[in-house]
Structure 1
Amino acid sequence: MTGRSGLLTRPIVPVSDADDAVETYDALRPEIDPECCQPLVVSVVATTDGDDTTQRAATDRATDAVDRFASLAAGDGIDVDTDVLTGDDIAASIIEAASDNDASAIAFHSRGGSDWLDIVAGGVRTALIVKSNIPIVVLPADDQ
């Protein structure tokens, strides 16, 4: 158990797709105590005015992502709750879910990208850090 376990007793953990779910799980697993951590794993599907096929595909991708994370966690004996969220603003949807579910923190694995562009363009990562009223935990990046 690490010193960060208090922050990670009920983290909300956003994942974008099945590959991201694996990377995020691999980063989170060494940081938690399976006996006292129950993550809520979410994936956000952006609402669109587009066709139903596109929306259905995005929902399927999100469902696959949270299911993949839950499967990995179950293999290690970790209870996980999952939810597929829908919203116009990904960061706001995550923050709202964190509040609604009494999350201890928002824990995410950085998906890369340019820090400078993120600051200028206002990416999800920056929005989570700036707008959240609960702690943000950026999980360690893989050293590859």
Structure 2
Amino acid sequence: MDSSAATEAEMLSHVLVPVATEADAKHTANALAPYAPDRVTVLHVVEKGAGSPDKTPVEQSEAIAEQAVEAFRTEFPGAALHTAYNNDVVAAIFETAAEIDASAIAYRSRGGNRLAQFLSGDLSIKLVTNADRPVIALPRGDGDD
């Protein structure tokens, strides 16, 4: 095995994959499948505001997380679920990656127009530029929402 193959194998040894919804999980699992990671942990971040009302009730958010991981498991049956509670999605991704010792973070951009990206602080840019481990930006397929 040459050094680039070894590096790729190491990077794909335990991949953390943040997902938001069941549909997002399906599309992300399909995009990740060709890379055949050894181990996958699916992350669902429940956005909890510090002192402000939650976007959705915790029970509903936990049900969404379960639906998402079940959708992901159609492609990766052994995928683990990790649920994080944080008002900063990127911070939750980084904290979880460190906690589970992920070899890489793989995500699929959820798109949106430039204004939506600007208003959200463009999570993709924060994820890619501030990570302490490799970040794999998965391709979006035609018809992905």
TM-score clears 0.5: yes
Structure 2 residue aligned with 1:11:
15
Aligned residues: 136
Structure 2 residue aligned with 1:42:
43
Distance change >3 Å, CA 54–CA 70, structure 1 → 2: same
Verify the 8 A CA contact 2:33 2:75 in the aligned structure 1.
no
Distance change >3 Å, CA 98–CA 143, structure 1 → 2: same
Q: Give identity over the alignment, percent.
A: 29
Alignment partner of 1:102 is 2:105: no
1:78-89 alignment to 2 at 5 Å?
79-89=78-88
Structure 2 residue aligned with 1:140:
139
Higher mean C-alpha deviation, range 106-115 or range 10-19: 106-115
Higher mean C-alpha deviation, range 10-19 or range 119-128: 119-128
The superposition leaves residues 75-98 of structure 1 with CA deviations (integer Å, 9 ceiling, x where unpaired) of xxxx32211111110110011000
Looking at structure 1, the residues matched to 13 and 110 of structure 2 have their Cα atoms a distance apart, in angstroms, of: 23
Higher mean C-alpha deviation, range 122-131 or range 44-53: 44-53
Looking at structure 1, the residues matched to 55 and 111 of structure 2 have their Cα atoms a distance apart, in angstroms, of: 30
Looking at structure 2, the residues matched to 96 and 9 of structure 1 have their Cα atoms a distance apart, in angstroms, of: 18
Displacement of 1:104 in angstroms is 0.8
**RMSD of Structure 2 on Structure 1 (CA):** 2.5
**What residue ranges of structure 1 are gaps of 5+ in the alignment?**
none
Looking at structure 1, the residues matched to 12 and 116 of structure 2 have their Cα atoms a distance apart, in angstroms, of: 29
